[in-house]
Amino acid sequence: MSQLHVHPDGSEDHGHPEHLGHHWNDSVQQFEAGKLGMWLFLATEVLLFGGLFCAYAVWRANHPEIFKYGSQFLSTTWGAINTGVLLTSSLTMAMAVTYAARGRMTAVVVCLLLTLMGAAGFMAIKYVEYSHKFHEGFYPGMSFYEEPHASELWLPLEETAAVVKAATLAGEEAGSVALAAEMKTRAELPTEPAEAQGWNKPAAGIGPAGLTTDQQNIDMAEMSVFLPPSVLGNLEDLDAELAYAEHHAADEPVVLPHPLQDPDRPVNAQKFFTIYFLMTGLHGIHVIGGAVVITWLLILTLRRRFGAKYYTPIDLGGLYWHIVDVIWIFLFPLFYLI
């Protein structure tokens, strides 16, 4: 981006540095204004994500079982690695700002490069996670209920590990019997589409999928007078939902059936993945945006536009990158850890 040229307009002096806009009195004023402007922009980013955090909070408060259930399918390992990557890139970004203030521009270039590598690493891991999810058929929305691409028996890595572990513990011979029995049980689980089993996949045009219980003055017993059978059926699910949530609150062995084959999965389980993809997706877009900004800063640094006297864009870019990091710091525990 080009610099503003100063207008030597009559009474003004000619000594304005190149980076100083003609409407500013001095560099300090311009720098502080830039900082204030950037903080305002960060406030807008917080509010942008705020709506989604609100939705998460409301849904989780109303249906904690959906979130407990869904988070089991996320890989905590990858999430933690990503957190580390992003934190490190924030560190390198802060280092870039400090070096710029000291005028050590080569170090700035190195640090910006490292930050970019962090961004790339983050997106690469995200790509791995997302493609893994899609392969297993975890899509947002109602696509969640479509058959995953892998039509053969689905046995995720963690599960195989757990089963094998059980087999080892029980002794080899007994273990292989256990393994065989386990696989046989799995083979007998129904694999027809959800619709045939009467689960929550509504045909278009037929009534609402589920029943929300957060109503004013609607007494459940009273309501049954009015309810058509299709909804009455879901009432029973409600008890099952709650029982499931209690049951799974305690530590369970990590043997996860695929949701499509799991009769215990909560009503509207797809909501977890909806909000997961929405929030991490929006965050990923911001990471990419941040990477573009940092690349631009890198180019300008290489063109020797910055120095100890003027490094405001690096400072402001750093602020932006930090908030991208902070948002992830909230996302990680909310989706992966609890």
Partner 1 sequence: MTVEGDDSMTTTESRPLDAPALEVDNYLTYTRGIRSWILTLDHKRIGVMYLISVLACFLLGGIFALLVRTQLVVPDGLIMSQDEYNQAFTIHGGVMVFLVIIPGIPAALGNFILPIMLGAKDVAFPRLNLFSYWLWVLGAIFLVSAIFGGLDTGWTFYTPYSIDQNSAMGGVIPAVTGAFLLGFASIFTGMNFIVTIHRLRPDGMTWFRMPLFLWSLYATAVIQVLATPVLGITLALLAVERAFGIGIFNPALGGDPVLYQHFFWFYSHPAVYIMVLPAMGVVSELIAVHSHRHIFGYAYIAWSSVAIAIFSFLVWGHHMFTSGQSPLMSVIFSFITFSVAIPSGIKVFNWLATMYKGAISWNTSMFYGMGFIVLFIIGGLTGLYLGVISVDVHLHDTYFIVAHFHYTMMGSSLIGFIGGLHHWWPKITGKMFNENAGRIAFMLFFVGYNMTFFTQFMLGSHGMPRRYATYPADAGFQTYHIISTIGSYIMAIGFFTMAGYFIASLFVGRKAAANPWGGRSLEWQCTSPPPHDNFSEQPAVGDCYDFSVLRWDDETNGYVWREDVAHPGHESEHTASS
Partner 2 sequence: MSIVGLLATAKIGEATSGGTFWMPENASTAAQGVDDVFYFINNINYFFFALLVLILVWFAVRYRSKPSEHTTFTNDAPVHNTPLELTWTIVPLLIVGVLFWIGMDGYLHLVDAPDDSYPVRVTGQKWSWTFEHPEYGVTEAAELTVPLNRPVRLLMTSPDVLHSLFIPAFRVKQDLVPGRYTSLWFEATKPGQYRLYCTEYCGKDHSKMLAVVTVLPEDEFQNRLGKLAREYEDLDDKDLPAYALNRLYNRCASCHSLDGKSGTGPSFKGLWDRTQKGSTVFTNGKTLKGMMGPGGEFEVPENYIRDSILNPQHLIVQNYTGAMPTFKGQLKQRQIDAMVLMLKNLDSLVDENGNPIEAPKVDEVEVSTGADQ
When asked if residue 228 is in the footprint of partner 2 (CB under 8 A), the reply is yes
Q: Are 152 and 166 in contact (CB under 8 A)?
A: no
Selected range binding partner 2 among 91-99, 221-229, 305-313, 322-330, rule: CB under 8 A: 221-229
Which residue's CB is nearer to partner 2, number 131 or number 213?
Answer: 213
When asked if residue 205 is in the footprint of partner 2 (CB under 8 A), the reply is yes
Which residue's CB is nearer to partner 2, number 231 or number 300?
Answer: 231
When asked if residue 198 is in the footprint of partner 2 (CB under 8 A), the reply is no
Q: What sign does the CA torsion over 10, 12, 13, 15 have?
A: negative
CB of 238 to partner 1, least distance (A): 14
When asked if residue 216 is in the footprint of partner 2 (CB under 8 A), the reply is yes
DSSP symbols for 167-236: HHHT-HHHHHHHHHHHHHHHHHS--S-GGGGT-S-PPTTS--S------SS--HHHHTTT--HHHHHHHH
Q: Across the chain, how many H-helices and E-strands are there?
A: 10, 0
CB of 210 to partner 2, least distance (A): 7
Q: Are 294 and 112 in contact (CB under 8 A)?
A: yes
**The only residue of 149, 217, 239, 250 in contact with partner 2, by rule CB under 8 A:** 217
Which residue's CB is nearer to partner 2, number 173 or number 214?
Answer: 214
Q: Tokens 């989604």, residue?
A: 52
- With residue 146 as reference, give the H or E element that holds it: none
Which residue's CB is nearer to partner 2, number 202 or number 333?
Answer: 202
CB of 44 to partner 1, least distance (A): 4
Cα 270 to chain centroid distance, Å, stands at: 15
CB of 201 to partner 2, least distance (A): 13
Which residues bind to partner 2, rule: CB under 8 A? Answer: 203-212, 215-218, 223, 225-226, 228-230
